[in-house]
Chains A and B, each alone.
Chain A
Amino acid sequence: MSRLTAFFSSNKTKLLFGFYLVLSLTLTLSYQTFNQVRLLHTSGGIGAQIHETTSHWRDYFSLSAQNEVLRQENARLKAAEWNQPMTHQTYSGPYRAKATRVVRNTFNQRDNYLLINTGTKDSITTDMGVVSNLGLVGIIEQTQKGYSSVMSILNSRSRISAQVNRTGHFGSLVWNGSNHNRVQLIDIPITAELKKGDTVATAGMSGIFPEGILIGRLMEWKKSADQNYLELEVALFQDMSRVRNVYVLQNKDKISRDSLIR
């Protein structure tokens, strides 16, 4: 017993270090392994409210009220625009746009998220698309009463179907984590005749986004590791470090559409 006490006494610093190390690694890896959403876990409730308060200060005080009126109007216009009949995509349902504000935004981590100040009380649910007036932003991943977390397109787990507008070739939009102004469009057939400057937009395959929401401009491309596909480097239209006002897209036909796909 005395030897055990002596062991603990002489190694107490190392043991404490081990304890903190295991604790912090467990906290980190459990979130990463189970793909849990960080923003609402750690910043929900009071944290989200503090984020919102600090965000308000950035919004030039009283200008936010005027912004809100304009954004609501813009939301109606956007909804009308996106609900135009599709010529060759019959599955795109009618979309509604809900204007909302980003109260927290990360863009320089490996897995980035945004926090918006609308939630279940505004009928926001998971898997709804989020866009800005300049392009794609992300997908709702978790909701609370007044807040929702959005998985940014700058996230290692984000995969969104997108297409090159001019050629119609589509693939998956991913992010390699190196530059927050660039994303990658992968799985494009090697036969695609691309031109630098081609615009890339959503393909509308999932029903989360309608077809044609702009994402960015094609900068360069290379063959994939297996030489069968092309990997496209796309410069984003939306500067993800400056996202403030966004729209949540609600597709009221998504549930019935998804049931048909299954």
Chain B
Amino acid sequence: MDQTNLIKDLLFALLLVVLQAFLWNNIHLFGWVSPMCYLIYFYVHPSYTNPMRLLTTAFFMGLLLDIWLDTLALHALACTVVAQSRPWIMQLTFGLAHEQKTFRIHQATWLQRMVFFGLITLIHHWVFFTVEDLSWSHVGAALWRTLITGVATIGVSMLLIAVFKPAKS
């Protein structure tokens, strides 16, 4: 990733954090469910970049959100886990195709993209809500919140991705 792309990438991450803090976190579906659409960052991030850079960006993106939303370091933790597992998720979803530098996510099938973003979301939410509850007696509640918030995140995010998808060249 060259210098210009790096700045663009960081600005995009920052934009998603701001949108999450001021917009998506103020959406309360069913009265309490706020979609975490900033996970779109892990969806659009190029596959060939330095994994250490992704880890660092993910950690600080999460930490910024934590500071704003009073969520301890839960977003930072969940984002770090997602960043680390992203190559594995890509391997699982797209096979070897994602290792090619010419690979673009929007060229994958609709189902593959859904599965990819779905796994990112579920891993993130599961870590987030499990550590937040941190009690065996609340495992069921954590799974329930993972599922409901996950559906909201995937639904709203895929809608946004469909609206703002890049034009076909």
B14 in contact (CB, < 8 A): no
Which A12-70 residues have a C-beta within 8 angstroms of B?
Answer: 12-13, 16-17, 20-21, 23-25, 27-29, 31-32, 38-39, 42-43, 47, 54
Q: Are A27 and B73 in contact (CB under 8 A)?
A: yes
B77 in contact (CB, < 8 A): yes
Nearest-neighbor residue (CB-CB) of B132 within chain A: A110
B144 CB contacts on chain A under 8 angstroms: 178
Q: Are A113 and B70 in contact (CB under 8 A)?
A: yes
Q: Say whether chain B's binding surface is mostly helix, strand, loop, or mixed.
A: helix
B44 CB contacts on chain A under 8 angstroms: none
User: Contact mask A234-262 → B, CB, 8 Å, 1/0?
Assistant: 00000001000000000000000000000
A interface, size bucket? 20 to 34
What's the tally of chain B residues with a CB closer than 8 Å to chain A?
35
A13 CB contacts on chain B under 8 angstroms: 51-52, 55
B66 CB contacts on chain A under 8 angstroms: 42
**Known interface pairs A20-B76, A25-B77, A108-B32; A47-B132 also in contact (CB < 8 Å):** no
B33, B55, B70, B84 interface centre (most CB from chain A within 10 Å): B70
A126 in contact (CB, < 8 A): no
Nearest-neighbor residue (CB-CB) of B22 within chain A: A54
A167 in contact (CB, < 8 A): no
A177 in contact (CB, < 8 A): yes
B73 CB contacts on chain A under 8 angstroms: 23-25, 27-28
A42 to B76, CA, bound (A): 14
Rounded to whole Å, the gap between the CB of A57 and the closest CB of chain B is: 11
A20 to B77, CA, bound (A): 8
Q: Which 8 A-B pairs have the closest CB atoms?
A: A27-B73, A24-B77, A24-B73, A108-B32, A28-B72, A24-B76, A20-B80, A20-B59
Given contacts A42-B72, A106-B69, 20 further A-B contacts (CB under 8 A): A16-B52, A16-B55, A17-B55, A23-B73, A24-B73, A24-B76, A24-B80, A25-B131, A28-B73, A28-B74, A28-B131, A38-B71, A39-B70, A109-B71, A110-B132, A113-B70, A177-B141, A180-B31, A181-B31, A241-B32
Which B residues are within 8 Å of any A CB, using their own CB? 22, 28, 31-34, 51-52, 55-56, 59, 62-63, 66-74, 76-77, 80-81, 83-84, 131-134, 138, 141, 144
